[in-house]
Amino acid sequence: MFDKVLIANRGEIALRIQRACKELGISTVAVHSTADAEAMHVRLADESVCIGPPPASDSYLNIPRLLAACEITGADAVHPGYGFLSENARFAEILEDHNITFIGPTSEHIRVMGDKIAAKETVQKLGIPVVPGSDGEVKGDDEALKVAEGIGYPVLVKAASGGGGRGMKVVQKAADLLSSMAAARSESKAAFGDDTVYIEKFLTKPRHIEIQVFGDGQGNAIHLGERDCSLQRRHQKVLEEAPSPALNSDLRTKIGEVCADAMKKLNYRGAGTIEFLYEDGEFYFIEMNTRLQVEHPITEMITGIDIVLEQIRVASGSQLTLTQDDITFSGHAIECRINAEHARTFRPSPGRITYWHPPGGLGVRVDSGVYQGYSIPPYYDSLIGKLVVHGKTRNECLMRLKRALSEFVIDGIETTIPLFNELIRQPDIANGMYDIHWLEKFLSKP
């Protein structure tokens, strides 16, 4: 086991990783920008190192400074959390070159799955179903028109690199294809330094279903069920639940076994998430995230498994102690992402929290790194906390969520709590009848 883990992240996820380390008896190192000097993860860590000014490029994304922090503190492992450098293959390679363990997959797996074209080709060979589309990069206009015509409109032009909806364009008719291709290439080049794009069939009413997988890099792999992440705005997840109200146990078992088997063949190490679009009883692979997900707590709530703790164990060289037969699912869980944003316009709302009262009680969990008097800096992601509730049934979970939201008080800034108060009262949400387009349609209503 490791002696000291440096956490290359900030906010609630840094605090979440700290807790797992402490339960394993591992010392922790927090890194922070000057803007985060008073952050909770810095206060509670065994050691802390300032790695630069507020811009992420000068601090949390600065590999030489992170490496120096490891050397100064003697950290023998790094947990990247999510975002920032969590899916940066070069960062993983550099750490390994310096005999520091990257708590995550191998750099090879990060690199393959980070390229959406290579990822699609890889999983297809492993038996995972994919969305109909081009065989790799689409280079010329003639090829693009031919591929789109063969698939049938509407189609989706997607960047091979990156995520978060950037470099992604829906095309309804042939007359708009070439201009959309140019726009996607330009956007992808600006965001990721790569203008490679490909084309897929655009599904009209799919759900976003993701399977949590876990491997030890020694030939063992399991799945921890699915999460439904269909409530999205601009391809950004807003609310997630597990299990999905759209799947039955047979479908859940079938797709879970396919994913676990693929990870065994790949000899995958650590936590990963295989994401699908699901429509009319069929699953279509869209991407794999080779890291911890923001929404991992709902899987923990229904399985009782500490995913972060298992990440650390496996990275230290331990084999999985769990088999698929050990995994049982209990009840239902929902996560709401509480952001420092206006609930309707989603305008960021940094500033000082003048009052903070999180909800509590049976089946309620709040993952957050903020506190009363804390000032949210304007430089980073607006996520300030995750409200996670668990119940024996989906209906009990929804009622508990309604109660927890009514107790959650945050003053001094705007938050998305009012949005969730609205959503929880919608019949479609109560009945589980929504797809990935539902939320944007709801928000467009006057």
Helix ranges (DSSP H) in 24-106: 40-44, 63-73, 89-97
Q: Which residue has the tokens 């102690």?
A: 321
| Distance from C-alpha of 144 to C-alpha of 149, rounded to nearest angstrom | 9
Residues with Cβ within 8 Å of residue 312, at least 6 apart in sequence: 1, 2, 5, 20, 21, 24, 26, 77, 79, 103
Q: Which of 291, 313, 365, 394 is catalytic?
A: 291
| Distance from C-alpha of 63 to C-alpha of 413, rounded to nearest angstrom | 33
- Residue 247, CB half-sphere, CA atoms under 13 Å: how many? 28
The widest CA-to-CA distance across the chain, in whole angstroms, is 61
| Distance from C-alpha of 48 to C-alpha of 6, rounded to nearest angstrom | 9
Cβ contact 257:235 at 8 Å: no
- 425-433 long-range contacts, CB within 8 A, separation 24+: 429/231, 429/398, 430/398, 431/245, 432/245, 432/246, 432/394
Q: Which residue has the tokens 């164990």?
A: 313
Cβ contact 229:329 at 8 Å: no
Catalytic annotation present for 291? yes
Strands across the sheet containing 383-391: 282-289, 269-279, 207-216, 221-233, 236-242, 332-339, 383-391, 364-368
Cβ contact 292:271 at 8 Å: yes
| Distance from C-alpha of 119 to C-alpha of 286, rounded to nearest angstrom | 9
The torsion angles phi and psi of 164, rounded to 5 degrees, stand at 70, 20
DSSP per-residue letters across 324-390: GGG----SEEEEEEEESB-TTT--B--EE-SEEE---STTEEEEE---TTPEEPTTS--EEEEEEEE
Residue 45: its H or E element = none
Q: Which residues are catalytic?
A: 291
